Amino acid sequence: MTQAHPLTSCQSLKPGQMKRFIVNDKAILAANVNGEIYAIADLCSHEDAILSNGALKDGCVECPLHGSRFDLKTGQPREEPATEPVDTYVVEIREDTIYIQM
């Protein structure tokens, strides 16, 4: 069963920013791309790098360790060495709070 979990207020995640959150013991990266909020697992599928320590560019987050870029909409890597997607989460905005479905 999915449940909505609050992450943070909309004001605290500005366009061009990403942040790490822990929800139910899972690390979540939430990012604001031109006003759209996305949420993916905050762990690279290649090795155990924390994606939120990387860079946010062109709707993707670039892994800080070997540079694979993950599409924030789909979780798919755009290039190797990562070949597996990371989990994505449905985002909801309610009364100025960002929620994810888990």
- Enumerate binding residues for ligand FES (CB under 6 A): 44, 46-47, 49, 63, 65-66, 68, 81-82
Is 39 or 82 the residue whose CB approaches ligand FES more closely? 82
Provide, rounded to whole angstroms, the least separation between the CB of residue 40 and ligand FES: 13
Give, as one character, the DSSP assignment of residue 87: P
Is 36 or 79 the residue whose CB approaches ligand FES more closely? 79
Is 77 or 100 the residue whose CB approaches ligand FES more closely? 77
Residue 50 one-letter amino acid: I
Provide, rounded to whole angstroms, the least separation between the CB of residue 71 and ligand FES: 14
Q: Is the dihedral of CA 24, 30, 101, 75 positive or negative?
A: negative
Give, as one character, the DSSP assignment of residue 24: T
Residues in the chain: 102
The Cα 12–Cα 43 span in angstroms is 22
Provide, rounded to whole angstroms, the least separation between the CB of residue 47 and ligand FES: 4
